[in-house]
Structure 1
Amino acid sequence: MGACSGKSGGDKQQAMSKEQKQLAVNKFEVGPNIFVNLKQGDITDTYIINKILGEGSYGQVRLVQHKKTGQQRAMKQIQKKKILKEQEDAMFSEVALLKDMDHQNIVKLFELYQDSQNYYLVTEYLNGGELLDKLTKLSTFNERTAAEYMKQVLSALSYCHAQNIIHRDMKPSNIMLASPDPKSPVKVIDFGTAKKQLSGESQTQVIGTPLYIAPEVIDKNYTEKCDIWSCGVILYQILTGKFPFDVKVQSLQQLFNNIKSGKYNFNSKEFTSLSFEAQALIKSMLSLDPKKRPAASEILNDPWIKEKAKEDKISLDVMNDLGKFHNESNMRAAILQLIAGEMMTNEEKDQLNQTFQSMDKNKDGQLSKEELIQAYTQVFNDELKAKHLVDDIFTQIDQNNSGKISYTEFLVASSKQNTILSKTKIDQAFKMFDKDGNGQISKQELQDIMCGVDIDNAQWGQIIAQCDKNGDGIIQYDEFANMLLQTAKK
């Protein structure tokens, strides 16, 4: 079994705790989740703790810097003595959901630590601020800007809903910008109240932020369509500066009555000055009957989004690189996914993101064989040739045999080799594995970073052997680099 300790401690096999086993997978399937589990030890061995970004009743959020790579991240510190058992359960539920999520508009979870006093959640550092704050500071704001941001939010929700996950607390403060850059992507955050539901199952727990809560949530009988309602309120607020219902109330019950009334302010000057398409979309998202609300995937094809938001264009260059990708081992694929997920910049991903989203016709955040065949048929004008190529692509890229290509799998396969495998990125990746800094990677260090996997010693030996060419049981830098730089393109 793999152990998750804060420090490397030789090759002694350590047993996983109950919490670690719950978060781990029991076979080596390549995916971002193999790098996340509950780690024991002193987080300051790995991170330099910097300024406070925010404080709450549970603890603090701080800016931290990875000692080996220099990367800045956000660390949420949760004091064990200040949280109730149900709050602790909610934290582990959030981790379990986030570690498996793979979408460009959802905050990325990197690590989870604990010591005797605290839990520490380490995520990507989003320093662009809240979306609503950004919009209020813009000198010029129009429907095109709103559509571009809402498209990204709905793309994240479409992915979640395809995974049967309801966010349940969509509100402006949970929509962040990755950076201050004007082209910065949006990231949906805070999955602490999110719920994975069985298909067709209704939820009954009243949860969420009152101003954005859906009528059916108040009535304790709801599905993922509650997220659409919340986004309808957000879109109304973004475009008009107001709420669609009266919020000047004396009690929470009065606010809930206003929300459940079905009578919303669609006659104000601010609302009627919007385009017909914007008004129609907001009205549909705020339908009192959840069944009449469009799904997130349907809104992404709505006339307002199609007309106002930037169109995602397929890059022939990206598709050409995708078709040439070749991989020899799942160890190499795992390291490439680590690099793509944690080290590539938003600028390096931009064109890849556009191609991915353009090919993702059903908007579930993954690429099926049918979607790839459709895209390559348009390129070749030859469906048979497209089918043969797509079969080859899936053999090389679909590392977890899910029958679909995930976002990170796509990034790995479609990136230019000199981008994803620059010397800087290879050096950073090696340093992340080489925890004690002695210039080589032991089996224990490999287990420490791939701590989301619960497999036996024999399987770990097989994984190391993919990289350990001289058979000494240790991975040297040259072996590590040579494995990554082996012919990646056919």
Structure 2
Amino acid sequence: MGSCVARPSKLIGVRKGDYPKSKSGRQYFNSKCSRKSKSSRTSNNKVLKDPLEENILHKYEIGNELGRGEFGITYQCFELETGEAYACKKISKAKLKTDIDIEDVQREVEILRHLPKHPNLVSYKDAFEDDEAVYLVMELCRGGELFDRIVAKGHYTERAAAKVIKTILEIVKVCHEHGVIHRDLKPENFLLADESETAPIKVIDFGLSIFYEP
């Protein structure tokens, strides 16, 4: 369902207020998500049980697109109060065709809220909902995907590969200890916190994850 990754080339030199805008002058999101809009949403098409509020633009400014998934698009965003950068995953309600799709989104949010703070788990920040979409605000990882790092390096030494695998197993252990099975572990779903060679990896995308009794 998208990612929290920021491709390094898209972040260098980017400042708050520098983002590309549409012809209407809005930054990516349409008028349904403007500051002055009022939602006419009914409970029939509500996805989240307890979103923070309906209008994400009351708290965040939306920037560059970072990536796309089956159900939505991830953008860079900035918290208005602090200026701190985050990743915002916009999940289009038009893509949620079945009750199972809706339940998957609900469960993903529940899992993000449930898991503990951990250096190798992407951190959850906020959730919003309006007529058009659900918005998940999470930690921004600036180093790209583990998959791209593997391709760029060409090969890992046995010691370096063992370190990565050990971290992945530790992530699985933490998730299982808290009653969560990820079910979609692959290099594309591990991000590097920054561009350094020693950057920690963080697991993302709990869209297929489930709760279970440990």
Show the counterpart of 1:133: 148
Show the counterpart of 1:52: 65
Distance 1:83 1:140, change over 3 A: closer
The question of 1:153 aligning with 2:163 is answered no
Show the counterpart of 1:181: 196
Higher strand share: 2
Show the counterpart of 1:166: 181
Show the counterpart of 2:135: 120
Q: Percent identity?
A: 32
The normalised TM-score by structure 2 is 0.72
Q: Deviations over 1:67-92 (max 9, x none)?
A: 11111111111111221221111111
Aligned partners of 2:137, 2:48: CA distance in 1, in Å? 17
1:93 to 88, 103, 107: 107
Distance 1:139 1:78, change over 3 A: closer
Aligned partners of 1:67, 1:42: CA distance in 2, in Å? 13
Q: Which has the higher contact order (CA 8 A, sep 6+)?
A: 2
Task: Give the deviation of 1:146 after TM superposition.
Answer: 1.0
Task: Give the deviation of 1:180 after TM superposition.
Answer: 0.8
The question of 1:71 aligning with 2:71 is answered no
Aligned partners of 1:165, 1:38: CA distance in 2, in Å? 22
Matches within 5 A, 1:406-425: none
Aligned partners of 2:79, 2:137: CA distance in 1, in Å? 10
Matches within 5 A, 1:10-25: 19-20=48-49
2:211 to 196, 211, 217: 196
Q: Deviations over 1:347-380 (max 9, x none)?
A: xxxxxxxxxxxxxxxxxxxxxxxxxxxxxxxxxx
Aligned partners of 1:116, 1:79: CA distance in 2, in Å? 9
Aligned partners of 1:180, 1:112: CA distance in 2, in Å? 27
Aligned partners of 1:118, 1:139: CA distance in 2, in Å? 39
Task: Give the deviation of 1:93 after TM superposition.
Answer: 0.3
Matches within 5 A, 1:81-480: 81-84=94-97, 85-102=99-116, 103-138=118-153, 141-199=156-214
Higher helix share: 1
Distance 1:160 1:75, change over 3 A: same
Aligned partners of 1:193, 1:141: CA distance in 2, in Å? 29
Aligned partners of 2:150, 2:81: CA distance in 1, in Å? 36
- Mark the runs of 5 or more structure 1 residues left unpaired by the alignment: 1-6, 8-16, 21-36, 200-490
Task: Give the deviation of 1:183 after TM superposition.
Answer: 1.6
Task: Give the deviation of 1:188 after TM superposition.
Answer: 0.8
Distance 1:18 1:125, change over 3 A: closer
The normalised TM-score by structure 1 is 0.33
Distance 1:94 1:140, change over 3 A: closer
Show the counterpart of 1:310: none
Aligned partners of 2:70, 2:182: CA distance in 1, in Å? 22
Q: Deviations over 1:47-83 (max 9, x none)?
A: 1111111123423111111111111111111111221
- Greater C-alpha radius of gyration: 1
Aligned partners of 1:89, 1:175: CA distance in 2, in Å? 24
Aligned partners of 1:180, 1:190: CA distance in 2, in Å? 20
Task: Give the deviation of 1:101 after TM superposition.
Answer: 1.0
User: Number of aligned pairs?
Assistant: 168
Aligned partners of 1:146, 1:118: CA distance in 2, in Å? 39
Distance 1:18 1:191, change over 3 A: closer
Aligned partners of 2:47, 2:88: CA distance in 1, in Å? 24
Aligned partners of 1:56, 1:141: CA distance in 2, in Å? 28
Task: Give the deviation of 1:19 after TM superposition.
Answer: 4.9
Aligned partners of 1:63, 1:179: CA distance in 2, in Å? 15
Aligned partners of 1:186, 1:90: CA distance in 2, in Å? 24
Q: Deviations over 1:189-240 (max 9, x none)?
A: 11111111124xxxxxxxxxxxxxxxxxxxxxxxxxxxxxxxxxxxxxxxxx
Distance 1:44 1:144, change over 3 A: same
The amino acid of 1:55's aligned partner reads R
CA RMSD of aligned residues (A): 2.1
Local SS of the residue matching 1:39: coil
Task: Give the deviation of 1:98 after TM superposition.
Answer: 1.2
Q: Deviations over 1:407-444 (max 9, x none)?
A: xxxxxxxxxxxxxxxxxxxxxxxxxxxxxxxxxxxxxx
